[in-house]
Structure 1
Amino acid sequence: MSGFLPDEPSAEVRVSPNFGPRRETTRPDMIVLHYTGMKTGAGAEALLCDPASEVSSHYLVYEDGQIVQMVRESDRAWHAGKSSWFGRTDINSCSIGIEIVNPGHSLGYRSFPKRQIDSMIRLCKGIVQRHSIPAQRVLAHSDVAPGRKIDPGEKFPWKALFEAGVGHLVEAAPVRRGAVLRTGDAGAGVEALQSMLALYGYGVEISGAFDRQTEIVVDAFQRHFRQRKVDGLADGSTIRTLERLLASARAVSPK
């Protein structure tokens, strides 16, 4: 990749060897956000550029707002791993991956600094504009790989991005006492829940049985869209928030 010029004008460049050509498509239509889950940003940058690691991302965003581009947007970075959205399993080929410096849940998960989020917003706006990425396809790693990944997690300020014009969000319904759907339940209510999750894009089987995979997907949904309480239980707040999200998606989708 001699002569690498950044797609994002404000980014520094450190080229990762861990990339390849996009498959099936030549154009990304999704952004996937990750946290690094390492002690330091420098350590994460080194890992993403180490050929032995076989992982990379298009961008890395430090806590002070510094942006490093490692793979061209036209190329396929190795960031999503085993994942799916709307039944598609080669997420690396259709996405731009952004790693956000944060130690993660295992090493001292913390809030994301404003400077970091401001840089994230500018970066995402540029990517969205360059590739006409729909708001509903700015996603968490946990959305496309539920259970296997939980990043960028329930502290990530999706609301700040949405208010700046990035991503898709609705106001979460209040958490109140009431009936919940949980592992072991079955019936029409569970089938309706699974159908709504699948209609938004999550990888869940519509079986009518609230199994472990359904619980994992509900947990992933909550980390992004109902962050106040993440427990994998489909309470009234979770279901109403999902209904609002689908209604909003239909309202903004091209006719």
Structure 2
Amino acid sequence: MDEAGTLWMPSPNFFVGRLGHSVRWLIVHGTAGFTSAQEVGDFFQRADVSTHYTIGRDGTIVQSVREHDAAWGNGYVSEGHDAWWDPTLNPNYVTISIEHVKPSHDNSDALTPIQTETSFRLIRSICERHTIPKQRADAGGGITGHYSMDPVGRHFCPGPYPWEELFAFLANHTSK
């Protein structure tokens, strides 16, 4: 596993490698259903979808795809996407994705306190491993939600997320 303390539940749904591309963005998702990270990990073993990580409401982290491979979590780039996304490139090749368990199908659930803390620490760790800018996403990289690349089909993903608190945490903490 790439992150210490995670539960490995491998998914067969990934692209081996990244076709020479480097990770530049971290994508935050909400599950729009499910009750635990393990339940999502099990789903990723059966369905034609995956993300690298899932964070449960209890703070459990499941890893389903290794970071050096491209998960099948981001679909495609739709009309109205943020300007830096290249609609001719599969966004999975340049991203790492983290799901957050949200039982409501519209992703309206707020993160739990332990889920928030776990998310912030995992994001910091991934950004440091891949030199992803610890900032709001732009053409140079960074962190954003799934809505950024697919505002048509995923406008509700990840739903409520404590963005301001995340960026304050990242500005004030290093893992070293």
- Scaled by the length of structure 1, the TM-score of the pair is 0.58
Contact 1:16 1:71 in 2 (8 A): yes
**1:22 Cα deviation from its structure 2 partner:** 3.8
- AA at the equivalent of 1:81: G
* CA–CA distance in structure 2, aligned partners of residues 62 and 87 of structure 1: 29
Q: Which stretch of the first structure deviates more once superposed, 71-80 or 89-98?
A: 89-98
Instruction: Map 1:220-239 onto structure 2 (within 5 A).
Output: none
**2: distance between equivalents of 1:92 and 1:146?**
16
Does 2:43 match 1:47? yes
The CA distance in 2 between the partners of 1:100 and 1:68, in whole Å, is: 10
Counterpart for residue 166 of structure 2: 161
Residue 144 of structure 1 is matched in structure 2 by 149
Distance 1:44 1:67 in 2: 11
- Deviations for 1:19-46, whole angstroms, at most 9, x for unmatched residues? 1124443421110010111132243222
Matching of residues 212-251 of structure 1 within 5 Å: none
Structure 1 position 105, deviation (Å): 4.6
Q: Which structure has greater helix proportion?
A: 1
Identify which of 70, 88, 92 aligns with 2:86: 88
Residue of structure 2 aligned with 1:35, choices 19, 30, 52: 30
Seen in structure 2, the aligned counterparts of structure 1 residues 71 and 39 have a Cα distance that, compared at 3 Å, is closer
Q: CA offset at residue 81 of structure 1? A: 0.3
Q: Quick one: structure 1 residues 104 and 143, their matched pair in 2 at CA, closer, same or farther if it must change by over 3 Å?
A: farther
Give the number of the structure with larger relative contact order, counting CA–CA contacts within 8 Å between residues 6 or more apart.
2
Q: Where does residue 174 of structure 2 map in the other structure? A: none
TM superposition shift of 1:103: 2.0
Cα deviation per residue 1:147-179 (whole Å; 9 max; x = unaligned)? 2102111x211112111017xxxxxxxxxxxxx
Q: Distance in 2 between matches of 1:21 and 1:141?
A: 22
The one-letter amino acid of 2:125's match is G
What code does the residue aligned with 1:151 have?
Answer: C
One-letter amino acid of the structure 1 residue matched with residue 29 of structure 2: H
Deviations 1:209-255 (Å, cap 9, x if unpaired)? xxxxxxxxxxxxxxxxxxxxxxxxxxxxxxxxxxxxxxxxxxxxxxx
Q: Which has the larger radius of gyration?
A: 1
CA distance in structure 1 between the aligned counterparts of 2:71 and 2:3, rounded to whole angstroms: 16
Aligned residues: 157
Q: Which runs of no fewer than 5 residues in structure 2 stay unpaired?
A: 172-176
Q: Take 1:101 and 1:162, find their aligned partners in 2: how far apart are those partners?
A: 21
1:25 is aligned with what amino acid?
G
Q: Distance in 2 between matches of 1:129 and 1:157?
A: 20
Q: % of aligned pairs identical?
A: 31
CA distance 1:8–1:146, change in 2 (3 Å): same
Shift of 1:96: 0.3
Q: TM-score, normalised by structure 2?
A: 0.82
